[in-house]
Structure 1
Amino acid sequence: MCIHPAEPTLLIHPGEAERFDRGGGVTTIPYVGKWNSGTAVITTGQTVFQPGTGLPVHSHNVEESVLILEGEATAEIDGRLFDLEVGQATWVPAGIPHRFFNRGQDVMRIYWVYGGRDVTRTITATGETFEHLSEHDKGGAPAA
């Protein structure tokens, strides 16, 4: 089930947006997505990672930009590891395998923007592809 507000709006407050439980200590709060309007060309929101959690290696059909808002992140992009601190950002081209995980002792919060409305996620290990924030888009887990 995709989570989105009942009606499109131009102002979204984090406390008013529905949360999408990814499982394993990872929660996503979508702000603007394909539901927003026919003219929206991005999907955006934030994801909160509890200490020691992350997402599996995956890719998207669109590019993704990630800004670290809180905590200490490690990004694995195309097999390379990058440590990111608050205020730092990274960009991942469409089709490139990647993941983000919380390497710190506190909550990690990222702000993300996808360059498109119809975002899919393909899990590298299984090859399974599904719609972003659909009932199948879970996968939060300990960051091994």
Structure 2
Amino acid sequence: MEDQLYHPFISKYKDVEPFELDEGVYFHNMATKDTGTKTIVSGLATFEPGAGLPCHVHNVEESVTVIEGEAFCDVKGVRSFVQKFDTSFIPPDVPHRFVNVSSTERLVILWVYSQVNTSLQSVDIERITVKSDRCMLPK
């Protein structure tokens, strides 16, 4: 029997209710397990001017593409300046964060997570905040 949830679909941005993940950072979950995906989830995050995520890790792979604006992408103590269409790949358990560099313009990113671990087993996605010094540049 065919899996009734596993089928093509289109999520309309205007129909997806955003939620504030961290102060000034709003997420739109566009394709998730709830909508029937099995191996990936994706969405958009909008960062108000100057807003950023705390340093964190995931238990799965993540890719982020800048859609609008400019950011700092801090990964394991290395800070990179990223702008429109630049794309990052973060393996599981690697400390990272994104920070909007602008004090006047918003930042919009497209994020994609795997729903499988490195052993290709299906897992729930975790986001674990870690000490900020794991993302910051070494002194």
Asked whether the two chains share a fold, i.e. TM above 0.5, the reply is yes
Using the alignment, how far apart are the partners of 1:124 and 1:78 within structure 2?
11
Query: Which has the larger helix fraction?
Result: 2
Matched-pair contact (CA < 8 Å) for 1:33–1:44? yes
Q: Secondary structure at the match of 2:98?
A: strand
Letter in 1 for 2:92: A
Identity %: 33
4+ long deviations beyond 3 Å:
none
Is structure 2 residue 74 aligned with structure 1 residue 76?
yes
TM-score under structure 1 normalisation? 0.77
Q: Please name the residue that 1:120 is paired with.
A: 126
Distance 2:28 2:8 in 1: 15
List alignment gaps of at least 5 residues for structure 1. 1-7, 127-144
Tell whether 2:103 aligns with 1:97: no
Distance of 2:15 and 2:8 partners within structure 1: 12
State the AA in 2 paired with 1:50: E
Structure 2: give runs of 5+ residues left out of the alignment: 1-6, 116-122, 133-139
Query: Quick one: which amino acid aligns to residue 88 of structure 1?
Result: D
Match of 2:49 among 29, 48, 51: 51
- How many pairs does the alignment contain? 118
Distance (whole Å) between structure 2 residues aligned to residue 77 and residue 23 of structure 1: 19
Question: Could you tell me how far 1:34 is from its partner in structure 2?
Answer: 1.6
- Tell me the residue number matched to 1:18: 17
TM-aligned CA distance change 1:20 to 1:9, over 3 Å = farther
